[in-house]
Amino acid sequence: MLPLREYIQEARNKGTAVGHFNISTLDGIWAVADAAQALNVPVIIGVSEGERDYVGVRQAVAIVKSIREERNQPIFINADHTYSFDRVKEAIDAGFDSVIFDGAQLSFEENVKITKKCVDYARASGRDVIVEGELGFIGTSSKVLSEIPAGAIVGDVNMTKPEVALQFVTETGVDMLAPAVGNIHGVVVGGDPALNTKRVKEIAEAVKIPLVLHGASGNTADDIEKSIKNGVAVVHVNTELRLAYRSGLVKSLSDNHDEVAPYKFLKPAKLAMQRVVEEKLRIVNNL
């Protein structure tokens, strides 16, 4: 079993990416694990602050690690969108394979300061913990949106600039960078904005570390594939999984209104998520 860092590098070398899928329940973990196992590709389970508060910080790590060990499956866990050093520290101490400090709404100077502190702590942990930084606000809600979130950066002028990205990476020492390149969290009714795949390439060439595409729910397969070709090595999906789970559960309860066993009425919802994960994994792995 290779460490996560090597799977990410391997994906870059092949011109593919590692899929990253957020979960809130055990059903979600199994949906992601089973989809990745079926396609024989590495995968990352993501849990944001709210998601890991619900699942349990150490519990989420223990479940993912148990699947990895039992199946010899390359499945990893990431502390997604973490907004303070203390919570990054908590995730590293709990055994997460990677962490994200999201300082996108802070000043550049404050973002650099806290991100570097997170990097230093990860390096001192004695484990190979990947640290990701963020530049550019792309919203915070993984849900269906009637309009682009206020303050989200989608215009070319305000997107993450290559020279600023290089300064950030140089001063913090992060392993991966999540830039604002037209992507947003959530799914916009009527369609998400197009990604600026040219800017992706410019940033990747400047920083020379793997890039991460957040908010890939709602983006076209073509935009995702071009972003991967231009330097994205990890692709995040959340909202589409939530929508699949909800619709699958509603249908299951409607079709089986007398069923009271959760493992029976939840299974169709789990399978609905799994189908979405498989679809996205085929895209990012060029299958």
- Given a cut of 80, is residue 86 above it in pLDDT? yes
Which pLDDT score is estimated for 149? 47
Which pLDDT score is estimated for 192? 52
Which pLDDT score is estimated for 240? 87
- Given a cut of 70, is residue 177 above it in pLDDT? yes
Look up the pTM and report it: 0.91
Tens of pLDDT, residue by residue over 132-171, are 999 876 655 554 444 554 554 455 556 889 999 999 999 9
Which pLDDT score is estimated for 101? 97
Enumerate domains of the chain plus CATH numbers.
4-284 (3.20.20.70)
| Mean pLDDT on 263-270 | 95
Q: What is the mean pLDDT of the chain?
A: 90
Tens of pLDDT, residue by residue over 63-80, are 999 999 999 999 999 999
Which pLDDT score is estimated for 182? 73
- Given a cut of 80, is residue 188 above it in pLDDT? no
Tens of pLDDT, residue by residue over 94-128, are 999 999 999 988 999 999 999 999 999 999 999 99
Sort residue 182 into left (φ over 0), alpha (ψ -120 to 50) or beta. left
The residue that leads in pLDDT, 4 or 153, is 4
The residue that leads in pLDDT, 140 or 172, is 172
CA of residue 44 relative to chain centroid, distance: 8
179 Cβ contact list (under 8 Å, min separation 6): 134, 135, 136, 159, 160, 165, 199, 200, 203, 211
What burial class does residue 189 get, using C-beta atoms within 10 Å of its C-beta: 0-12 exposed, 13-18 middle, 19+ buried?
exposed
Q: For residue 24, what is the DSSP state?
A: S
CA-to-CA distance for 92 and 90, rounded, in angstroms? 6
| Mean pLDDT on 228-246 | 93
Active site residue ranges:
80
- Given a cut of 60, is residue 205 above it in pLDDT? yes
Residue 99 identity? V
pLDDT band at 189 (very low <50, low <70, confident <90, very high): very low
Which pLDDT score is estimated for 220? 86
